Structure 1
Amino acid sequence: MAPLRVALLQGPPGVPGAVAESLAALERAARTAVGRGARLLVTSELFLTGYAVGGRMAELAEPAGGASEQRVAEIAARHRIGIVYGAPERDGDAVLNTARFVGADGRLLAAYRKTHLFGEYEREIFRPGAEPVVQAGFDGVRIGLLICYDVEFPETVRAHALTGTELLVVPTALMRPYDFVAHTLVPARAYENGLHLAYVNRCGPEGRYDFAGLSCLAGPDGAVRARAGGGAELLVGDVDPAVLRAARAETPYLSDRRPELYGALTRRTTP
């Protein structure tokens, strides 16, 4: 099976709340990505609205199937490329931080709601999701979704590895001074779980935040196949299932596990 070429859209925040501008940028990126041979395009966390919109998040959030989702579906179908993008979601009175996965025919394949909220800002705005593993098949690859802070918990990535995820896609809003997450932790997560990991960050200043960039495509063999700097960039890299199989055979963490020893480790303890 041929590798899956993935495009990672690291972009500046632009104007927070300007959804139309974000959709136009997504259209341009889809066109460029297809021209570079990509079949999947991944954006950052809360790509459509911006991260630092504060009290406007509830106003900008749309229910599933809303106008923005329909527009992204049109872009995906027109350019024949899968798209994973971040946007706030309205569900009744609740607002959720969601990543949606639209197929190359415009159909929604999966939607993941961020389960681990970072800091008081997110906890004041969003309700956490309750489904830890969300996956979809795409071009012969099993793709899983997480969002930003989720990937910093070893349990979340291991759950994906144990349930068949081959490419873990992580829209992100990593701010400084936490650059080490992108440099060190993300490649380690890919290696210790034997999977490909696309980590796609925002970049530049937005409100009181300074987003670090440093998006990357990390492999199951410990290699980082694509790495962005601190500015706007469209990265392209290949996800090869053969590399995954070879890496898991060479470093058999998953098959050498002894889960009968780990039960007590998952129970909450007081520091």
Structure 2
Amino acid sequence: MEKISIKEIRKLMENVQDENDPLLIQLSTDARKGVKDLLDKWHQTKQQEKADRDHYTLMQTYEIKARTEGFHLIAGIDEVGRGPLAGPVVSAAVILQENAYIPGLNDSKKLSEKKRNELYKHIMDEAIAVGIGIISAEEIDRVNIYEATKKSMLAAVQNLKVQPDYLLLDAMKLNSIYPETSIIKGDAKSVSIAAASIVAKVTRDRMMEEYHIQYPQYGFHLHMGYGTKLHLDTLDTHGPCTIHRKSFAPIKQLFE
């Protein structure tokens, strides 16, 4: 084996999946540091892949339970945008295939923007159905944020091209025509809700980036409408625009 270069060995190892593969057994007797490093990296990668798979399986607990009860089209639902001073509240409903495996799926708040975008594409490519519900700042002011959130979630379910037979929700109750389970911190405990949290977050962030083009003075592409110092400073300078929530403090005080 010593006659084979490190580069060639790296290439040979790309398709090795089993730790009992004859190639790995043979390489274990190779004294070169470069070979040892390749073996260590291979084992570390496989350990991480197993940990990711185990975590994903754990996050399927609620979906598996629902399927044992006879449900098959299980929609995870989550929202983003309750807290911002500007922009809509956005919900997503996602029905994943039973045998889907999307490595790295987790609560959108725990992921980088790059990872969210990668997972968003994976989800959109592989989901049975994805529905989006968007409620504007104007509607939020009219009905309050809690009711607006519920309306966005119901709209997301209604916009699924395939209707579900069971709903998993992140700490909300919809009391719709479908049976449902509300899960505290559901975006970290259910693959379907985690997928919905990513789709909702990416969808809303892209909307806020578009609003930045329309209202560049507020920096919406940086804070996504949340009450950061930058956002509050621009409000002091420019006042609110049409996508600001006039029922939210401190904007509300500007109209009193």
Scaled by the length of structure 1, the TM-score of the pair is 0.26
Q: Which has the higher strand share?
A: 1
Scaled by the length of structure 2, the TM-score of the pair is 0.27
Q: Which has the higher helix share?
A: 2
